[in-house]
A and B are shown apart, each in its own frame.
Chain A
Amino acid sequence: MSVKLGVPSKGRLMEKTFDWFGARGVGLARTGNDREYAGAVDGVEGVDLVLLSAGEIPRELAAGRIHLGVTGTDLIREKLVQWDQKVEPLAELGFGQADLIVAVPACWVDVDTLDDLDAAAAAFRAEHGFRMRIATKYHRLVREYLRHGGVADYQLVDSQGATEGTVKNLTAEAVADITSTGDTLRANHLKVIDDEPVLRSQATLFRSRTAKLDEDERTVLRTLMAKLDV
């Protein structure tokens, strides 16, 4: 058997992950042609590379089907209930930084804090007869954040993409989404609420707390972690 390492299967996140491991003497590479999701590991014996969508890595770690995995903190926290009992963060990889934030139209000059948002939501409901809509795909995290911030009279509407456009399209009054530079928000005439963001996320190497290890695999994992200095 072998230790399974789950890594995002495409794009910048995959390349940066390969670079990070490479810099620590562990070579990761895709094998076969461009469309085949197969990989190889160099520099340490007994490790299998599993290429997965970043969004599936939390689930695979929690189920114990992979021992290690690289994904964003945001995805771990949104998808796993009691995440800290299922996975352990080993190292922040220093890329893929993004904040999960709440943003409102820039023309709402009266709204800068969660406190303002709550007051605006109360007035909005009284005026329009329904709860203020906040578009997001991070339902659990945003709900918990707004509950903690004491915001009432809102509803979350699901948006799996182009979330920043929902306000202009009149399908939401505000949004909660991941941003790194804020350019897309500004281009869509939105501004970020002043309070601490819902979450600061970055690509992170996680260890599964549930995956089983035999004696050999335990040795391999220890060797790999020593090499990565985590």
Chain B
Amino acid sequence: MGVTTAQERAEAVRLRARFLEAGAENVDCAILQPAETLLDLYGEDIRARTYVTHDPARGEVMLRPDFTVPVVQMHMETGAAPSRYTYAGEVFRRQEEHPERAPEYFQVGFELFADDDPAQADAEVFALFAETLAPYRLRAVTGDIGILTAAVAGLETSERRRSALMRHIWRPRRFRALLDRYSGRSPVPPSRKALLAAENPMDTAAPAIGLRSETEVAARIAALREDAAEGPLCESQVALIDTLLAVRETCSFALEQLHDIAVDMPALLPAVDRFERRCEALTARGVDVAALEFEASYGRSSMEYYDGFVFGFVPTARPDLPPVATGGRYDALTERLGNGRAAPAVGGVIRPGLLLQTGERA
């Protein structure tokens, strides 16, 4: 049995009422969003997952793929922390790879902007979602992108390598390829060897064309030479990242394992402390962290703007369906949209259509 739009809307309104009760202010945003902002944030890839259309006066516009970006923009223009917002409305996603999935569905969201105590804010949002979704047969999974970024920031290697890895945190395959290259696990391509061996690599018959200048080419060659001179990234450092990414436990055991890893990588400590404080705040709100799952790599491939705590609620009996609810912390996103002025925030969305589809309440 399919779920009708009317049923989906009614469920969305019901969930939003729950978020209003929790103290959120109701907000809305335009369906047509300027495409440029979203493309600059997420990159060209997002075109494959969104509807982009052309307006003769406004240029490229996008049917909103989610509410987060417009809500952040609105908050940064008018709001002050702490603020709690809720919204309910349709979002639009192209489904080239999965034509059986809905290209248009409702999202009900809750976003909390608070700059004092991130652990408390994370716990407030997660506990609200857990409570709202408690009647359904869903499995909660959590993670923390901040732990991986702390590990990368703590690698004993050049700043250049660290920032290249950081840039690809959300692209696990590319991240792995970079690690393999820096550690010498994968061979240097012949073209790179030849370039490094050349005495005057800029000596070429090719005329200088295009916007990328000779200076920029020379700067990259200099960077590559420095990188080659640095030598490989130590295997033990790579092993630490591997161990870290493999952590998949209940929160309580994960915390123990992360403390163990931090013995060899002290740079991890502040992030592990944040995780510990979050666990305490969750416990204080009645969440059983001894039973709550934690995966260190959770949220890396699909939740591109989250940079700290992440969570999802997946249907236990329907592994074919996407998560019914997802959320997390996105401080860096607010910083980019605010041109350097951050507005620490954590939030999440529920998909009422999926909730109805997963059917029976437990």
Q: Which residues of A contact B (CB under 8 A)?
A: 81-82, 105-110, 112-113, 115-116, 118-120, 122-124, 127-128, 131-132, 139-140, 143-144, 146-147, 150, 152-156, 167-168, 170, 173, 189, 191, 194
Q: Is the CB of B216 within 8 A of A127?
A: yes
Residue in A106, A139, A150 whose beta carbon sits within 8 Å of that of B204 in the complex: A106
Residue contact B212 to A194, C-beta cutoff 8 Å: no
A167 touches B210 (CB 8 A): yes
A119 contacts across to B, CB distance below 8 A:
164, 220
B1 at the A interface (CB under 8 A): no
Question: What residues of chain A lie closer than 8 Å to B177, measured between beta carbons?
Answer: 115, 150
User: From A193, which residue of chain B is reached at the shortest CB distance?
Assistant: B191
CB distance from B215 to the nearest CB of A (A): 9
Pairwise interchain contact A105-B212, C-beta atoms closer than 8 A: yes
* B210 touching A150, Cβ below 8 Å: no
Is B45's CB within 8 Å of the partner chain A?
A: yes
CB closest chain-A residue, reference B219:
A123
Q: Is the CB of B44 within 8 A of A120?
A: no
Q: Which of B323-362 contact A (CB under 8 A)?
A: none
Contacts of A122 in B (CB 8 A): 164, 167
Query: By CB atoms of chain B within 10 A, which of A109, A131, A139, A153 has the most?
Result: A109
CA distance A82 to B96 in the complex (A): 8
Stretch of B168-176, B280-288, B311-319 at the chain-chain interface: B168-176
Decide if B10 is an interface residue (CB 8 Å cutoff). no
Q: How far is A173 from B168 in the complex, measured between Cα atoms in Å?
A: 22
Contact A173 B212 (CB under 8 A): yes
What are 13 sample pairs from A and B whose C-beta atoms fall under 8 A apart? A110-B224, A112-B195, A113-B192, A115-B189, A119-B164, A122-B167, A127-B216, A131-B43, A143-B44, A146-B44, A147-B45, A152-B168, A170-B211
**Chain A residues within 8 Å of B171, by CB:** 150, 152
For A82, the chain B residues whose CB sits under 8 A away are 96, 99
Shortest Cβ distance from residue A116 to the other chain B in the assembled complex, whole angstroms: 8
Output the least CB separation between B68 and chain A (Å): 20
Question: Which of under 10, 10 to 19, 20 to 34, or 35 or more describes the interface residues of B?
Answer: 35 or more
Residue B228 at the chain A interface, CB threshold 8 Å: no
Contact A143/B47 with A108-B217, A122-B167, A123-B216 known, Cβ cut-off 8 Å: yes
Q: Is the CB of B189 within 8 A of A109?
A: no
**14 extra interface residue pairs, beta carbon distance < 8 Å, beyond A107-B208, A115-B189, A122-B167:** A82-B96, A105-B208, A105-B212, A107-B217, A108-B212, A109-B195, A115-B177, A122-B164, A147-B48, A150-B174, A152-B168, A153-B43, A155-B44, A168-B210
Chain B neighbourhood of A109, CB < 8 A: 195, 201-202, 204, 217, 221
A119 to B174, CA, bound (A): 12
Which residues of chain A are near B40, meaning CB under 8 Å?
Answer: 131
A81 to B217, CA, bound (A): 38
In the complex, the answer to whether A105 meets B206 with C-beta atoms within 8 Å is yes
Do A120 and B212 touch (CB < 8 A)? Answer: yes
In angstroms, how far is the closest chain B Cβ from the Cβ of A141?
11
For residue A88, give the distance in angstroms from its CB to the closest CB of chain B: 18
Q: How far is the CA of A102 from the CA of B58 in the complex (A)?
A: 31
B234 at the interface (CB under 8 A from A): no
Measured CA separation A122–B96 after assembly (Å): 28
Which residues of A have CB within 8 Å of B48? 140, 143-144, 147
In contact, A110 and B217 (Cβ under 8 angstroms): yes
Contact of A110 among B47, B206, B211, B221 (CB under 8 A): B221
| Least distance between A78 CB and chain B CB atoms (Å) | 12
Q: When chains A and B are docked, how far (Å) is the Cα of A105 from the Cα of B211? A: 10
Complex CA gap A109/B192 in Å reads 10
* B56, CB-defined interface residue at 8 Å: no
Q: Please, which residue of chain B has its CB at the minimum distance from the CB of A194?
A: B191
Let me know if B220 and A131 touch, CB within 8 A.
no
Q: Bound state CA distance, A156 and B174, in angstroms?
A: 20
Docked CA distance A97–B110 (Å): 54
Whether a CB of chain A sits under 8 angstroms from the CB of B39 is yes
Min CB–CB distance B180 → chain A (angstroms): 11
Check A189 against B209 for contact (C-beta < 8 Å): yes
A160 and B99 alpha carbons, distance in the complex (Å): 28
Q: Which of B184-233 contact A (CB under 8 A)?
A: 189, 191-192, 195, 201-202, 204, 206-212, 214, 216-217, 219-221, 224
Q: Is the CB of B204 within 8 A of A113?
A: no
Chain B residues with CB under 8 A of A81: 96, 99
Q: Which of A110, A122, A140 has the most chain B CB within a 10 Å cutoff?
A: A110
- Min Cβ gap A86→B in Å is 11
Q: Which B76-135 residues sit within 8 Å CB-CB of chain A?
A: 96, 99
Whether A112 contacts B217 by the Cβ 8 Å rule is no
Q: How far is the CA of A146 from the CA of B46 in the complex (A)?
A: 13
